[in-house]
Amino acid sequence: MRHYSLRYLMFLMAADALIVVAALALSFPLRLSIAFGLPGVVDAFVVPNALYLLSPLIWLFAYNRANVYGPRHSPELLHEMRHLLIGHAMAALLFFGALYISYRDFSRVQAGYFILVALVGLMSYRIVARAVYRRFGRYLSDARRVLVIGSSESARAIGQTVQRYDWAGLQFVGYVQDDGDAPLLDTPSLGTLDDLPRLIETHQVNEVVIPLKWFDEHTAGRVSAIMRLLESFAVNIRLSPDYSDLAYFETSAEDFSGIPLIGVRERVLSPGQRAVKRAFDLVFSSLFLLVTAPVFLIIALAIRLDSPGPILFRQKRVGEYGRLFTMLKFRSMVADAPGSDQEYSKRRFDPRVTRIGRLLRRTSLDELPQFINVLRGEMSVVGPRPEMPGLVNRYEWWQRKRFEVPQGVTGWWQVNGRSDKPMHLHTEDDLYYIRHYSLWLDLQICARTFVAIVSGKGAF
């Protein structure tokens, strides 16, 4: 179970970057004061300014690859330190490689001081941070509220373990009675499986754990029924088998203080990936809005002069985990155009589109206000396009997987056909993006979006 909030992870990443920069700065006086290695003039040991930018980027990249920012193990210090050491070793190798390419004259002894000081600083910081988090974690993090299916001994063990780790932000909600288990007197249930949707909403549950004695046909059907019952809720669903050597399909396994848990559906983005994606969204959209502010004013004036009505068009869309939000666009149709709020309303040579609106659609400039949605946290720069509620209501259950990541201004579908591609075919593209998500893929999609806009392919 992931125990840390997005805010905490972003703070942790920022602190790691600052510690790396501080260790790099400290390497200069250490190299001068500790008589080790070949002597040299003072200027030879001055740290190049570029390294102050490159070093934290290397460490954040290596730590993310080593899963330092995605805690998937039991909340023990040993697990975190092991991942930190792996990430630190990876970062050190990348740092020496960067020195070989760019700054070959940089003292290797000084680089060793930097890496050692950074390791001590990062480990010490985490030990202190964990102590503070253990004391105040339940107040600092978003609570992970856990509901356990069943009332067996296995279910009770899981409930007791969750309660022991309440300091990590976990909150035990209770048990749900399963028809296959005899009720235990000291584990009163909150209801039956039919009450699950109500209990999820009432108690704001984030995690649902299903203990398993075996994985036969009956159990598989039961798990499948629970997953479909909860398909529209933003909850993680976990399996906890009595035997750790079970393996099924494409699942993820973790150890929760001696209790094996197998995830059959959990959040697509790890906490580290989500923090990186949100940071990218904030930086990209802020810079974009700043640079294009004059364009916003020109478009607003052109819309007002072209036809009466509001400058912005507001429409309800379905966002991440099915949450409704108001998406913004520059108005491209006549005011109060019939059917403008209905799906399948976009077509070539639409008489409802204004003269300015036709140009805005052709250049995709009507989408610019959606970067305001990005700043609000309602959308991402890259992701599946947010759909209209009426269309989502007709989705098959497997298509709802596209709502497990933030919905985007642009995405894999847009750069592979845009409006030329029929609406009912782009779900496969969205699922491809979800399965292969990375920051590098987001950057590629942004670049290809620019090419698609310039070419005008698929836009109308």
Q: What are the boundaries of each domain within the chain? A: 6-139, 144-266, 272-455
Distance CA 264, CA 404 (A): 14
Q: How many helices (H) and strands (E) does the chain have?
A: 14, 11
Q: Is the dihedral of CA 286, 290, 296, 297 positive or negative?
A: positive
3-state secondary structure of 251: coil
Alpha carbon distance 381, 285 (integer Å): 7
- Is pTM beyond 0.75? Reply is no
pLDDT tens for the chain, 460 residues long, are 444 556 667 778 889 999 999 999 998 888 877 766 555 555 667 888 889 999 999 999 999 888 887 654 445 677 778 888 999 999 999 999 988 888 887 888 888 899 999 999 999 988 887 777 666 655 555 567 888 888 777 788 888 888 777 666 677 888 888 766 666 556 677 888 888 888 888 888 888 888 876 556 677 777 888 888 887 777 888 877 654 444 333 456 666 656 666 666 666 777 778 888 999 999 999 999 999 999 999 999 999 898 888 999 999 999 888 889 999 999 988 877 666 555 445 555 677 888 888 888 888 889 999 999 999 999 999 998 888 888 888 877 667 778 888 999 998 887 775 445 544 456 777 878 887 888 888 998 988 888 777 665 545 4
Answer yes or no: are the C-beta atoms of 128 and 191 closer than 8 Å: no
Q: What is the DSSP code string of 201-234? A: HHHT--EEEEEES---HHHHHHHHHHHHHTTTS-
Interior CA angle at 460 toward 387 and 403, to 5°?
A: 15
* Terminal Cα-to-Cα distance of the chain (whole angstroms): 45
DSSP letter at 318 equals E
φ, ψ (nearest 5 deg) of residue 176: -115, 125
Q: How many CA atoms lie within 13 A of 235 on its CB side?
A: 27
157: which 2 tokens?
């063990």
Output the pLDDT for position 212: 73
Other beta carbons within 10 Å of 61: 16
What pLDDT score was predicted for residue 89?
Answer: 92
> Angle between the 6-33 and 108-140 helix axes, to the nearest 10 degrees?
150
d(C-alpha 253, C-alpha 262), whole Å? 4
Torsion angle, CA of 339/341/347/349, rounded to 10 degrees?
A: 60
Contacts of 349-354 spanning 24+ positions with Cβ under 8 A: 354/303, 354/306, 354/307
Query: From the CB of residue 122, how many other CB atoms can be counted at a distance below 10 Å?
Result: 24
Give the pLDDT score at 249: 39
Query: What confidence score (pLDDT) does residue 338 get?
Result: 64
Place of tokens 């039956």: 192
Query: Which amino acid makes up residue 325?
Result: F
Q: Which uninterrupted H or E stretch holds 317?
A: strand 312-318
Q: 3-state DSSP call for residue 49?
A: helix
Select the CATH number that applies to the domain covering 144-266 from these four: 3.40.50.300, 3.10.20.30, 3.40.50.720, 3.40.50.620. 3.40.50.720
Q: DSSP assignment, residue 398?
A: G
pLDDT for position 374: 95
The rounded Cα 104 to chain-centroid distance in angstroms is 37
Can you give the pLDDT at residue 139?
A: 55
